[in-house]
Structure 1
Amino acid sequence: NKGFVVANVDYRYANDSVSAKDLLADIDAAVSYVSKKSGKYGYSKNGYHIVGISAGAHLALLYGYTKKNMKSITALCAPSRLDSPEVLEFRKKNGRFDIIDKLAGTKIDSSGDNSAIIKISPFSNISNVPTLLIHGDADNVVNVSQSQNLYNELKRKGVETKLIIREGKAHDVGMNTPETEIQNIKDITEWIVQHNK
């Protein structure tokens, strides 16, 4: 009823044998599938928009910036700079040192070589794709500074971007509250329509 088709895409989770490279391949396969089915269902063969929340937002950003075939990206509460102090602190505090290793597909050593992490960080792979960022300022899983810093870097690089901070909202960005969910969907819809040229 908003005038466009939505494909809800699933992907594997990172583990000892599945890294970010594989997750990007999952999204690539889904985009190819959706494109192939366009004639059957009567929607555009290309020129899509990608939206994700949390880990899906990280993947939406990374895919959108590195594959160069998205008209826009919307990322809700996205981890975007995986080598930042707040991400490293969160991993230490929660005993999750392994998750970034799995995403990177290699054991991250403590020597200070962040090249494997940088490769899977949207912050370090920015390309000129309009990017909407929505984040709760009470998010205790992905600090709001992740979106704030990405927004500042996008502005610095001249990429069209918008940052919406949801006051008092946690890692669900208010998607579990009817009025905030409606507002998020409205903002996402407006962003997609604005960039659907």
Structure 2
Amino acid sequence: MKHFLLFLLFAFCSSFGQSKSFSHLAYGKSSQQALDLYIPNGDLKEIPVVILLHGGAWSMGGLQYNSKHAQDICNKGFVVANVDYRYVTEEISAKDLLADIQAAVTYVSDVSGKYGYAKKGYHIVGISAGAHLALLYGYTKKNMKSITALCAPSRLDSVEVLEFLKKNVLLDVIEKLAGAKFNTTGTNPAFIAISPFRNISNTPTLLIHGDADPLVNVSQSQNLYAELKSKGVETKLLIREGKGHDVGMNSPDTEAQNIKDITDWIIMHNK
């Protein structure tokens, strides 16, 4: 009997404080317009709510890309919406992906009363293509308390960047993202419109980038950081030495440090 009671006590203590998750909640009609919601136990009224966006060059990937990171952030005591969004095509461009994020944010807000967390005042975090979208959404919608962008493509309107993307067989994807063909002889308003660097607003921004990133050069975050500072926007840049495009998110020690830096930034701005 004593051992049985100890077992029950252990089982209770193990379950206390664990989070709940709700998978593939539809916020739109497309199968990709879905999110996973992670909710910690306890009083949720004052805790941060995070919108998390996966990478995948705007043309691949899904919720599984960020599931571990979403759980890790939730384990810090945050509500996390791990959001999927549609891929770019000839018919679907950045404005549609931003509309997906807006619809997801609206859904998360609409169901807040059901679970007991805040109805507004969220934070947005993204990795790679998701970081680009987090920046662009956060700067243009101006409804997030903070932005965190890991290995973010932040400027897509320069000839140099587009030539680099062309070498990496990504120019076609970027043109779909912009909904236009890149013109190397003149201005490109469609590419300016999808460049966070050219659409900055006063939202606190944390940038994390590996200095050995072969896909998105660290200069993208360095230049954005300098521009944010020049405009008086609160910002912080963390360079991960020797890390590539995953910014160390696939290495346990570096991922733990990234999660700590992300959650510290969010807590600082959850006012």
Q: 2:138 aligns with which of 55, 58, 64?
A: 64
Residue segments in structure 2 that go unaligned for 5+ positions in a row: 1-74
Q: 1:185 aligns with which of 223, 246, 259?
A: 259
Provide the secondary structure at the position in 2 that maps to 1:171: coil
Mapping of residues 38-53 of structure 1, within 5 Å: 38-53=112-127
Instruction: Measure how far apart 1:180 and its partner are.
Output: 0.1
Deviates more, 1:109-118 or 1:68-77: 109-118
Give the 4+ runs in structure 1 shifted more than 6 A.
none
Change (3 A) 1:183 1:86: farther
Report the TM-score when normalising by structure 2: 0.71
Which is richer in strand?
2
Q: How much is the aligned-residue C-alpha RMSD, in angstroms?
A: 1.0
Instruction: Measure how far apart 1:96 and its partner are.
Output: 2.7
Question: Which AA in structure 1 matches 2:238?
Answer: I
Q: 1:151 aligns with which of 200, 225, 229?
A: 225
Q: Deviations over 1:128-159 (max 9, x none)?
A: 00000000000000000000000000000000
Instruction: Measure how far apart 1:85 and its partner are.
Output: 4.8
Q: 2:246 aligns with which of 157, 172, 175?
A: 172
Alpha carbons 1:136, 1:171 under 8 Å: kept:
yes
Q: CA separation in 1, counterparts of 2:206 and 2:171? A: 29
Mapping of residues 18-97 of structure 1, within 5 Å: 18-97=92-171
Q: CA separation in 1, counterparts of 2:186 and 2:82? A: 38
Q: CA separation in 2, counterparts of 1:97 and 1:39? A: 43
Change (3 A) 1:109 1:86: closer
Deviates more, 1:148-157 or 1:89-98: 89-98
**Rg larger in structure:** 2
Q: CA separation in 1, counterparts of 2:122 and 2:154? A: 21
Provide the secondary structure at the position in 1 that maps to 2:148: strand
**Greater relative contact order (Cα 8 A, min sep 6): structure 1 or 2?**
1
Deviates more, 1:82-91 or 1:113-122: 82-91
Provide the secondary structure at the position in 2 that maps to 1:188: helix
Provide the secondary structure at the position in 1 that maps to 2:238: strand
Provide the secondary structure at the position in 2 that maps to 1:159: coil
Change (3 A) 1:121 1:45: same
Alpha carbons 2:159, 2:184 under 8 Å: kept:
no
Instruction: Measure how far apart 1:110 and its partner are.
Output: 2.8
How many residues of Structure 1 are paired with residues of Structure 2 in the alignment? 197
Q: 1:14 aligns with which of 88, 97, 102?
A: 88
Instruction: Measure how far apart 1:38 and its partner are.
Output: 0.4
Alpha carbons 1:62, 1:122 under 8 Å: kept:
yes
1:5 aligns with 2:79: yes
**Aligned residues: percent identity?**
79
Q: Deviations over 1:102-151 (max 9, x none)?
A: 01112223322221100110000000000000000000000000000000
Instruction: Measure how far apart 1:11 and its partner are.
Output: 0.6
Deviates more, 1:42-51 or 1:79-88: 79-88
Alpha carbons 1:86, 1:143 under 8 Å: kept:
no
1:162 aligns with 2:247: no
